Structures are given as C-alpha cells and as structure tokens.
Amino acid sequence: MFKKILASLGKGAATVDLQFNHQQYQAGESIQGEVVIQGGEVEQKINQLAVRLMMNVSLKQGNVSKEIAYIPLMSRDRIQPKEQKVIPFHYALPTNIPVSRGTVSYHFDTHLDIEGGVDRKDVDHLIVQPQGALQAIFNAMGRLGFREKADSGKIDQYGQEFAFFPTQAFLGQVSEVEMRFAAEQSGISVWMEVDCKNGYKEVEAKREFRLDWTILENEAELEKVLGQYIAEAVEQPYIYTQPFSYEANRHHGISSALPGMIGGLAVGVLGGMLVAEVMDEFVEEMFEEEAEEFEEAFDFFGGDDGEES
C-alpha cells in the first residue's frame, strides 16, 4: 500500500523514454525509433501513451510553442513492477516543415498518462535540416562568399525566409540577399531579393526563377547561375523592382503560403500570430514612408544647415 501511495506521487512510478537513431533529420525524412516504458515498484494502469512534435518559434510577440503532430502509440494497458515495454515509433517529417534555424527549433514531447498517478514525460530535441537540393543552394551561396545571418530562417505569412550577407565578391555592392523556396516536380522555384547599394540609397531588386534538377545536381553550374542572377541585380537594380508574385494581395488580406513553399506548414499552425506580425510590419512601413516623405520635403526647402543668414 505504501509503495502505491508513493507511486501515485511519482516516487517509484513507471518511467518513459523516447529513443531514436539520430538528432538531425532532413525535411521529409522518416524517423525510426522506440519508446521504452520501464515499470516501477507497483503495477500501474496506463491510460494513454502519445508523442507530440512541437515547433518553437521566436516572433516579435515572444517565443511560442505549437504542436505540429500528435502521434498516439498506446491506450488502456498495464505495466507490471520492473517490467519493460518497448513500443516502435515511426514518424515522417513533412516536406514543407520549416528547417531549424536560430528562430525555429523542435522537440518531441512524450507523454505517459498513468491512471491515478503523476503522468510521466520525456523531452527530446531534434534538428530539421534542409533537403538535399536546398542544401545545395546554401552551399553554392557559401562558395559565392555569402553567409547566413543570425536571424535567417524567420517565419512569416508566406513561409520561411533565409537571409545572407556578403563577405567577398559582392562586398560593398550588396548588403543582404533574402531568399524563399518552393519545391516542385521540375526543381525548385526561387524568390530572391537583393538589397543593392546604389550611392547613398539601397534598391531592392527582386528576381523570380526556377532551378531545374540538372542545375541543382551540378555544383559549378548552380554557383554560376546564382552568381549571375545576383550580378544582374547589382548592375541594373531598378529594372527588378516589381513585387513578387506571392505579394500581389499583401495589403488586401493575409496571404497564405504557396504550394510547396519551404516552411509553409508553419503558416497554418501559427495562424493569427502571423497576422499580428504582418499588421505590425505594415504599420511600421507606413511610419517609415511618412518619415522619408517628410525628410525629402524638409531637404527640398533647404532644411536647417546650422548657419545664420
């Protein structure tokens, strides 16, 4: 009886442990593992065993944690004293899941619901890596002298955006390159924004293009093509200022991720939180535009040069 009382309080109760082979997996890859339930000092009734995949995202409003998947494994069972139960675990990561970055992380939350006792939990972190073709693009950007920024991989109402800064060839010409991707049958669609330094101003040059599999599988060709798109933007930034196709209805309602957009899964999961992010950015843009117009008008009338007439 005393042991049962202690077990109901968590002392000497059954424990749970999710085990899988690796910590890093590519988007779309299957995770194979097992959940080990170790019996305690007394027999206990198990109501349910389930695993949740949780996504942790840093937004302007703060850090949020959202459930990506719920995976039930067992219900209505018993665990005897010192008995060990091993339950197979399988889960395929979605192909459009955001990849892990400084603002995005993941963990599995394993929950063992014990009748009349303290529920047992186990937390296991994992890293979601880009699929091969996307990683090839990142590698090519690296060979061109670009490095990912600390806040690269941010989530917004369209999906996941990756940001790079130059360290070599385009240093002094480009301040930042932002990229989005969507997987398609024929390859990967790319939306690239190049922030070009043009005198005292910056011009946002926007390029949309598709990289087919033959290019993605050829390192030298991929590097050449990406470098050419960036160089063209630097040479003539003003001819690439049209909005991206996915931005067409940005201010007429909240857009959703395009089919296949990398990170698009997060759009549905985060929902209203991303709406708030968009509205905050829209208000900030309005104030910035008004400030620029005021500054230009001030300069037109001579401003204040600090001299007395």
pTM for the whole thing? 0.81
Q: Identify the structural domains of the chain with CATH numbers, from first to last.
A: 2-129 (2.60.40.640), 132-293 (no CATH)
SS3 of residue 241 by DSSP: coil
- pLDDT score for 264: 86
Residues of the chain where predicted confidence (pLDDT) is lower than 50? 1-11, 251-254, 278-289, 294, 297-298, 300-301, 306-309
- pLDDT score for 3: 46
112: phi then psi, degrees, rounded to nearest 5: -105, 110
How would you class 296 by CB atoms within 10 Å of its CB: exposed for 0-12, middle for 13-18, buried for 19 or more? exposed
Neighbours of 216 (CB within 10 A): 19
- pLDDT score for 104: 95
Q: Which two tokens stand for residue 249?
A: 């209805």
